[in-house]
A and B are shown apart, each in its own frame.
Chain A
């Protein structure tokens, strides 16, 4: 419901009447063909199938344990949850935030059920390819990464989840459901609009200005803390709002969709993008362009 704060002398005020929220399925359109289930739904009674993630066997029946869409690979059936914490898989790119500095390792929040671990030994340290394993490194750990730092990393193993480190400084990051991040060959995108995006498989997204020099930085891990120009910041904010709109409208996130959405948002001011009508409008436009491109 719109509220009425005190009018400032120069402050523009927007008022909006409540509207019935449109059911998502309408806007989802053609994707409704998917076999959607909720927990407890029987997926199949055929016993010839293998149960995968998100299912369980009960009374000779395969039953969904999460809400999501059913996926099948040969005889394997699993349910991919629509909204979930992140389930790590080897090779995923994730974006996470350091939560704790421990002995020889960092704890990283990556939106998964447990905190991820980044071992000191599995990280490229500044100042050399080959590091001696010494106590100084352990003492200096907080100097490399400290609580609150954002990192992007690759999942290395999944018994308790591990990770590898990357670099660059953060500006903003959005948090989306991991199910909306499309699994791709690469998750690092330099968008032509002047910013780069890391779409973490864990649903965290990192937007940052495209580094100017792209040559291999052998040392890895450089914390570039120069101020970012206003223009760059505007681009980043716009991208962020676009991604938020895409997520609100349940669109898959990948380089093309983000770029189209960005382009569609250009007629609007950055702050306006998050208004529901505008969100809907630009996402619709994006969707159409994507359809055209595919069809």
Chain B
């Protein structure tokens, strides 16, 4: 046996083991060290087979004493390994005596051995150091991955071998265990010298450990945990005892986890570690002996033990279970707590590198990106989600494929465009009004654009590798959320998805949905905490004097300080009382409104400035207040003179793009003035170019205090040192409400600049009184809102899907996130269905011949009767009269599991209206009340007519007893006309008293006996059921369902009486068979329904909408999209109204500017009626538009949609008609401002959207072959697109 053979076998073993784990190259590389270490591979390599084939001979293949002496350590290793082999699996049989080298099959055993060793090491964490060598040599047999370790270990063994004492010691240790002496299969002769290295290790005259040293060490080794660390097979035996089989993974996962376990060991190159060994030949021995081999090759692990222990623990509690995952789990959470140590080895050539070291979560994400997995990154604000996006873009560029980055808002798209363009160069931007480099390999677009690309099957999708969805939590947006779902559903399977989102509680659920959708696993990566922790304060100050009144409420560790809260309340109270006492002129609290605000902000900003906590973002929830607050601070100047000049220059440069008069716009001048003082305002009313100027100055740190609305918190990495909340209440379009935790977190997340600040400061102003602590607690500590489906059907979606047959609308609905909870079990349902079908097939057909001919009918009658009665009874119990009748003393018939038509009397009625419970005294058998008899009345299986029709009352056979039962309404089978005069309380008391063992033998009270006697008498008097209260006549239930139910029940009763089958002797048996079948069939039907389209929640609405389209002539009966439908597809919004307007020829006759003005009614969002001074054509046009809208609204109502005509028409908003008209006629923007009170920013947005709409109308006109309208729309769009409204974004320059 040569070391070469052994070596090759080891290679094979290594390859076997890591066949799937990672390429074998690295294993091979590391297994190719210089001679010394190679030899040691050979040394350890042959041991498994030698052991394997004997199973009893404990000698390793080492010839002679000399060798023995030298490699006693190896013996131990080998022994260990051998027994581990038994432990791992029964692989001993695999090697035949003739195979002199390790057979490949032995490798697996070796691997198990190594694994077992690793576990052993885990078990013996108290004495790790002596164990380590053993472990390593054991593993070496299985994999070359540990070769470096092994070799250095072996070196240390060699050092030991050269000492006579050591040898003796070793012999004494070894020989008792080797009674067989040299093994017959031991390699002999000329081969043996190959085991000996000819390298100059001997040259290292090393310190010799003393005997005591050694023995203590050996003892320590021997004394290791006896339960876990002993051999499992005694020497000389073929089989042993498996001590802890349960905790060991099964062979298959063992293989897997072993390969993973060994990976990190494979870090160092062979040369490196050899030189380490050779270089330190004389290293101190003793306790530190194993240390050098560990520390050198494993630079990242502090010691071998640590490393092994940790990895072993990973193997034992795997973040990803090694078993094949259950098919239905698509979302896999990724553990981001432990560092990715082997990151640089796994990704030797990253597609992109940063100046900084990526975080763990980023590394994890990148690892998955490299594997082309889809990931969902839910990270805290400013944690660095963009890194993931950047890597994907770089990866796609490397692969020569394409990435699409979608963002919810245009402003964010522009910013990302600039960022990515600076990083990657080859970046394009597609939004509604800009198209830059559409051929680039990374395209930034809004989600809507991506959707239309998917609908039209654009070729951009062909070579798409990644789609990055930024701010996925936008899916919660009521209006636009559906777009995200559509896109996610329609994306082809070859595209990998990257979802970036703020932290959401149901990330897993959402990921599971997408995974199921795409039939691929999605890795969910969440961050644990913000990189820059936040501190939350309350601020109660309002004057320079009180500017220090800042109270810590929530510290950076997330602990809520009630003390701070009470201090704030105190401070506030003190001031109010003081003011109340002094009523001086300097009472800002009484001046109210803006002036008071000013005081607060001056105080706050001064305080923040003093403590160097600027820049600050102040979130205010109305545009007006934002402006007011900023304008109010006239006296404040936060910039230095050099900053002032910088700001001035920047402003000049940006504003130079504007036309002369536009530079003089009041808003521009005002903003410039504010900016020079370091203040800024940012909300939707601001002109887009000004917003961009503010953003850019802010990110350069020149805006010290920014007053913004919530929109600033969306996306855009623009952190500040401090975030201030003007209030914790906002108006959400319908009412004032407290901020939701998600909103609060999103905004507060702007605080804390990574790398600049240790913590971020969040301050909540208490201008009025201090908010309730519970509210604060909920807002700050509450869970952010979940991702929720806002899926709804739109006409565009329906038309686009009807046009192609790739995807049906039903499929789209079925796959939506809203249907996910009911659909995710569909696989299980299918299985259940198959199972039921199988069971049904196995069942015998019931015999329905002869007399039993009407058995099936009988069954259905019985079922129906029971159902009808239950329904009526439910109505009775729900009704007022029914409840009234069910008062104390009423005699009822009780029917449930225990009681079969037993008479009872109601003692008490619970007052809880949602789950009413009647307490009743019920007759029962003496015996059954004690212990229910098997085969007693509890087998009401086969119902005969008299069971079904009347109430064959239960009559106790022996002595009668009673029991108090709590009955839900369903148990009351009938209400009789009888009322007993009893006292419910007394009976209850008596019964409960007799429940106690002490009073068990007491006779019941006379009241109880009397009641029971009376019930018994009643039961005997009416064996077929006592007269019951008629729901219609007695209880005044004139409901249609009740009356009809009653009639039907009576009819059914007649039918049941007439049934023939019950007379047959075979009736019971056949009935049971029939019932079993019927029940299975019913269950199958239910499952089929759940699996069918019919159970879709939105299906009715879908049919209604298709009906609308049919009525309007957009699709025909067969569902083919007609011309009008195709035109509607071309519209970007308001598809029905625009199409109808066009086909009604309502637009062609008008001039372009008039068309634009009219259409503004569709896109305008600011409220307000039309101006009075309008040309008559416009007025007529408006009426016409409204008439068309009304017609569509009426069609919708007629088709059953629940949007009223008024609502539909009310969506039109003609507030900006005049403004748009004048703009289209060429009025400068500066003059427009006088025409309406609408903020400039909103006007701009409206005109931008209008231009988009004009373009889509032009396309539609081309489609129907109407060139005049097309030309007009073209002109309209050109008229609109000019000057400041369409000034190109600063970000795209």
- B236 contacts partner chain A, Cβ-Cβ < 8 Å: no
A157 and B1264 contact, CB distance less than 8 A: no
Which A residues are in CB contact (< 8 Å) with B805?
Answer: 185-186
Which residues on B sit within 8 Å (CB–CB) of A50?
1142-1143, 1145, 1148, 1264, 1266, 1269
Complex: A186 Cα to B1142 Cα, angstroms: 28
User: Which of the residues B462, B1129, B1140 comes within 8 Å of A122, measured between beta carbons?
Assistant: B462
Q: Is the CB of B1120 within 8 A of A185?
A: yes
B402 nearest in chain A by CB position: A133
Interface core residue of A49, A53, A122, A130 (most chain B CB under 10 Å): A130
Shortest C-beta distance, A219 to chain B (Å), equals 11
Distance in Å: Cβ of A149 to nearest Cβ of chain B:
20
Asked if B16 CB lies within 8 Å of chain A CBs, one says no
> Which residue on chain B has the smallest CB distance to residue A51?
B1266
Please give, as numbers and ranges, the residues of chain B lying within 8 Å of A186 by CB-CB distance.
Answer: 805
- Give the residues from 981 to 1012 in chain B that come closer than 8 angstroms, CB to CB, to chain A: none
When distances are taken between beta carbons in the complex, the residues of chain A under 8 Å from B1118 are 184-185
A78 near B1265 with CB under 8 A, answer yes
Q: Which of B463, B465, B1144 has the most CB of A within 10 A?
A: B463
Across the interface, which residues of A come within 8 angstroms of B1175, CB to CB?
none
Whole-angstrom CA separation of A212 from B1122 in the bound complex: 33
Which of B35-43, B84-92, B452-460, B507-515 is found at the contact surface with chain A? B452-460
- Interface residues in A183-231 by Cβ distance below 8 A to B read 183-186
Across the interface, which residues of A come within 8 angstroms of B1121, CB to CB? 91
A164 touches B457 (CB 8 A): yes
Per the 8 Å Cβ criterion, residues 847-896 of B in contact with A are none
Judge whether A73 is part of the interface by a CB distance below 8 angstroms. yes
CB distance from A294 to the nearest CB of B (A): 12
Interface size on B, residues (CB 8 A): 42
Q: How far is the CA of A61 from the CA of B1265 in the complex (A)?
A: 17
Shortest CB-to-CB span from B397 to chain A, Å, is: 11
Q: Which residue of A lies closest to B459 (CB)?
A: A122
Chain A window 126-145, contacts with chain B (Cβ cutoff 8 Å), 1 for yes, 0 for no? 00011111100000000000
Which residues on the B side are within 8 Å of A157 (C-beta)?
A: 456
Tell me if A5 is interfacial: C-beta within 8 Å of chain B: no
Q: How far is the CB of A63 from chain B (nearest CB, A)?
A: 14
Tell me if B401 counts as interface (CB < 8 A to partner A): yes
Interface residue? B98 (CB, 8 A): no
Contacts of A84 in B (CB 8 A): none
Q: Closest B-chain residue to A135, C-beta based?
A: B400
Of B399, B1120, B1266, most buried by chain A (CB within 10 Å of CB) is B1266
In the bound assembly, the distance between CA atoms of A122 and B453 in angstroms comes to 13
Q: Fill in one digit per residue for B1095-1129: 1 if any A CB lies within 8 Å of its CB, else 0.
A: 00000000000000000010000111111101001
Residue from the list A73, A130, A154, A164 in contact with B1124, Cβ < 8 A: A73
Q: Nearest residue in B to A124 (C-beta to C-beta)?
A: B462
Q: Mark B796-829, 1 if CB is under 8 A from A, else 0.
A: 0000001111000000000000000000000000
Q: Which residues of A contact B457 (CB under 8 A)?
A: 154, 156, 164
In the complex, A55→B804 CA distance in Å? 29
Which A residues are in CB contact (< 8 Å) with B558?
Answer: none
Across the interface, name the chain B residue whose C-beta is closest to A87.
Answer: B1265
Q: Is the CB of B1120 within 8 A of A183?
A: yes
| Chain A residues, Cβ within 8 Å of B1123 | 73, 76
Cβ-based interface call for B193 (8 A)? no
> Is B1058 close to A, CB under 8 A?
no
Instruction: Find the B residue at minimum CB distance from A55.
Output: B1265
> In the complex, which residues of chain B have a beta carbon less than 8 angstroms from the beta carbon of A134?
400
* Interface range on chain A (Cβ under 8 Å from partner): 35 or more
Among A52, A91, A119, A154, which residue has its beta carbon within 8 angstroms of that of B1264? A52
Nearest-CB residue, chain A, relative to B1120: A185
Q: Is the CB–CB distance between B492 and A129 below 8 Å?
A: yes
* Residues of B with C-beta under 8 A to A51: 1265-1266, 1268
Chain A, residue nearest B1267 (CB): A51
The answer to whether B456 touches A121 (Cβ under 8 A) is: no
Could you tell me if A73 and B463 are in contact, using CB atoms closer than 8 angstroms? Answer: no
Contact with A along B453-482 (1 / 0, CB 8 A): 000111100111100000000000000000
Given contacts A91-B803, A129-B493, contact A52 B1145 (CB under 8 A): no
Task: Say if the beta carbon of B494 comes within 8 Å of chain A.
Answer: yes
A48 contacts B by Cβ under 8 Å? yes
Q: Does A75 contact B (CB under 8 A)?
A: yes
Residues on A with C-beta less than 8 A from B1122 are 73
Q: With both chains docked as a complex, state the minimum distance between the C-beta of A22 and any C-beta of chain B, in angstroms.
A: 32
Cross-chain contact B803 with A53 (CB below 8 angstroms): no
Min Cβ gap A85→B in Å is 15
Closest to A78 in B: B1265
Question: In the complex the two chains form, what is the Cα distance from A52 to B1124 in whole Å?
Answer: 12
Q: List, in ascending order, chain A residues with CB within 8 A of B494's CB.
A: 129-130
User: Is residue A90 contacting chain B, with contact meaning CB distance below 8 A?
Assistant: yes
Q: Which residue of A lies closest to B1123 (CB)?
A: A73
| Chain A nearest CB, measured from B183 CB (Å) | 56
A89 contacts partner chain B, Cβ-Cβ < 8 Å:
yes
- Whether the Cβ atoms of B1143 and A73 lie closer than 8 Å is yes
Interface string of A170-193 (1 = CB under 8 A from B): 000000000000011110000000
Residues of B within 8 A of A89 (CB): 1126, 1263
A75 near B1145 with CB under 8 A, answer yes
Query: Is the CB–CB distance between B456 and A131 below 8 Å?
Result: no
CB distance from B1123 to the nearest CB of A (A): 6
Residues of A close to B1142: CB separation below 8 A: 50, 76
Interface positions of A from 59 to 116, Cβ below 8 Å from B: 73-76, 78, 89-91
Which of B465, B493, B1120, B1264 has a CB less than 8 Å from the CB of A76? B1264
Chain A residue with the shortest CB-CB distance to B462: A121
Give Cα A144 to B802, complex, Å: 31
CB-defined A-B contacts under 8 Å, sample of 21: A50-B1266, A52-B1266, A74-B1143, A74-B1144, A75-B1144, A78-B1264, A78-B1265, A90-B456, A91-B1121, A121-B459, A124-B462, A130-B401, A130-B495, A133-B400, A133-B402, A154-B804, A156-B456, A156-B457, A156-B459, A164-B457, A185-B1120
Interface contacts beyond A130-B494, A131-B463, A132-B401: sample of 5 additional A-B pairs, CB < 8 Å, sorted by A: A73-B1264, A74-B1113, A91-B1121, A132-B399, A133-B400
Question: Which A residues have a C-beta under 8 Å from some C-beta of B?
Answer: 48-55, 73-76, 78, 89-91, 119, 121-124, 129-134, 154, 156-157, 162, 164, 183-186
- B interface, CB within 8 angstroms of A: 399-402, 456-459, 462-465, 492-495, 802-805, 1113, 1118-1124, 1126, 1129, 1140, 1142-1145, 1148, 1263-1266, 1268-1269
| 5 shortest interchain CB distances as A-B pairs | A129-B494, A53-B1265, A122-B459, A74-B1143, A75-B1145
